[in-house]
Structure 1
């Protein structure tokens, strides 16, 4: 045999003898009591998770039901407010028709003997929606010339309201009334 084969065989034999001579480690298995404790803890954890999940599901269902009821209440409230708004609009139309009729009667009334003509014709306030509301000589654009000058310059409603110290809603209303006035005269 060749010398390197002898060394390899000798080395293999030493390794085998050394392995047999070494003490073996005991297989330390996990005690069965510990395994049972872990299984019990895991089961309790799962039960708690299922209980929490059921509570969460009931909370979500309750929240959805409350949201649905709240939405229904709001829809009823909106319907009621719309109905009231329509009633008020009808009352406004009725009162404006009545005011317009009263203004026409006052304008056509005969002056009392001995009284000045100016005293017999009283000014009756006329709502903005009637044709008598805006006589040609005193149009809304002449009454609010500063507002329409700024509007004509392309200023925003917010800028106009700040500049003139008016509310934005008031500025919008005046502009809309002017448009209606222009459409009525066209």
Structure 2
């Protein structure tokens, strides 16, 4: 055999080998593409489910906000009605006091208290958030657990986490307590 025959034979072997080699790798590439498609579909389904849950949560929070706003508006309207009724009652009492001369007021009437205010006007609204703390109560009395943790040497972050408060809120309470102690001294 001559050299050119060896070259042709070698070229034919390379071509056959080259044709067989990519055919083996094609199924692996197709499997990789298939796996990628399945992964993307699962990811898309998860994203859609998360999106639905988030949308439901947003709708629920909007409904709660609307309900709270309606309660607040109803409470405000009730308070305005009571305020106007009390203003009218005060105006009537002022008008009655101005129209009666002081000398003509009998002593029994002068010593008597003002007419009673209707009980419906004095009732507190049903939905009070929390009663206002008395002016005599100190900050340390309002937050005993917070100051106990602070005296134990806990950090502001640990106190905030334990008390379910913000760090800024804890810092503010501690600063107000220091100011309160300074004004008492």
TM (norm. structure 2) is 0.42
The structure showing larger relative contact order (alpha-carbon pairs under 8 Å, at least 6 residues apart) is: 2
With the length of structure 1 as denominator, give the TM-score of the two structures. Answer: 0.42
Bigger radius of gyration: 1
